[in-house]
Amino acid sequence: MRAVVQRVTEASVIVNGEIVGSVKNGLLVYLGVCKNDTRKDLEYLAGKIAGLRIFADDAGNMNRSAIDVDGAALVISQFTLYGDVRRGKRPSFTDAMEPVAANKLYEQFVSMLQELDVPCEKGVFGAMMDVRSINDGPVTILLDSTKLF
Residues noted as catalytic: 78-80
Query: Strand pairing of 62-64 and 73-77?
Result: unpaired
d(CA 117, CA 139): 21
Backbone φ and ψ of 16, nearest 5°? 50, 40
- In the chain, the amino acid numbered 98 is E
d(CA 120, CA 52): 15
Asked if residues 76 and 29 have their Cβ atoms less than 8 Å apart, the reply is yes
- The residues near 146 (Cβ < 8 Å, ≥ 6 apart) are 1, 34, 36, 41
